[in-house]
């Protein structure tokens, strides 16, 4: 007959083993994830550009939102403005404007899938962009990024002489969201900027020298829902 202490030890071991097996099973579970991106325009969302002294045209921002794992692996795009997706801008050079959404362009290069299903025209007012990813996601924590940039957004730090058409570089927002434990919602917060000339996809942490670009959007949030 086993001693009580041995029996207790075996019971504890059995519970730990069952817990580990359950944890592993949960880690490998997947779900078809649906997301809603909500963007509220700020005071600098649309600032008219004047050419030839009297001709004015509206300049709206380019926006991209995508998911990454906590290990910084690109997962998929949630939403991107149509011009940004196609890198096709009026009066732009042949290679487009890599400085418009430099971080998303470099992340997207890792993923060959088309973005037609998640791209759309830039909204003129507050908008919701809903999408359901075509491939299942593992349950767990993900990082959502939002990149926002409006051309001709100059200030004393970013002039036409040192930043070309871009003005202030793209602004990067970050939010954490949980997939697989019911609805999850998170608000984006600015963390840094992209390359002013689009030469790389690195996030430059900090907001030094940024002024009006912080008012392109007033608020943005992302929501996960299984249904």
* Cα Rg of the chain (Å, integer): 22
**pLDDT of 146:** 98
**pLDDT of 114:** 53
Q: Where are the domains of the chain?
A: 34-225
**pLDDT of 22:** 33
DSSP letters spanning 28-54: H-EE--EEEEEEEE-TTS---EEETTT
DSSP letters spanning 147-216: EEE-TTB--SSS-HHHHTTTBSPPEEEEEEEEESSS-EEEE-EEEEE--TTSS----EES-TT--GGGGS
**pLDDT of 115:** 57
Task: Report DSSP state, residue 79.
Answer: E
Structure tokens at 30: 């997947």
Q: pTM value?
A: 0.81
- What is residue 139's three-state secondary structure? coil
Q: Which residues of the chain have pLDDT under 70?
A: 1-28, 50-54, 57, 90-94, 111-126, 227
**pLDDT of 33:** 82
**pLDDT of 171:** 98
């Amino acid at each position: 007959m086993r001693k009580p202490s041995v029996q207790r030890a075996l019971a504890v071991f059995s519970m730990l083993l069952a817990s580990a097996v359950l944890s592993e099973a949960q880690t490998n579970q997947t779900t078809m994830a649906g997301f809603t991106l909500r963007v509220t325009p700020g005071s600098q969302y649309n600032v008219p550009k004047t050419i030839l002294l009297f001709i004015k045209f509206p300049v709206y921002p380019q926006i991209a939102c995508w998911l990454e794992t906590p290990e910084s692996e690109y997962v998929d795009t949630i939403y991107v403005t149509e011009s940004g997706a196609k890198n096709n801008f009026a009066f732009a050079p042949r290679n487009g404007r890599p400085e418009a959404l430099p971080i998303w362009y470099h992340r997207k290069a890792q993923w060959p899938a088309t973005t037609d299903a998640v791209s759309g025209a830039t909204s003129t007012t507050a908008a919701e962009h809903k999408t359901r990813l075509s491939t299942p996601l593992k349950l767990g924590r993900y990082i959502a990024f939002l990149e926002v940039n409006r051309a001709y957004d100059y200030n004393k730090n970013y002039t036409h002489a040192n930043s070309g058409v871009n003005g202030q570089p793209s602004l990067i927002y970050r939010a954490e969201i949980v997939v697989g434990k019911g609805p999850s919602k998170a608000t984006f917060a600015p963390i840094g900027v992209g390359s002013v000339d689009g030469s790389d996809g690195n996030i430059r942490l900090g907001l030094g020298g940024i002024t009006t670009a912080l008012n392109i959007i007033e608020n943005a949030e992302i929501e996960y829902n299984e249904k």
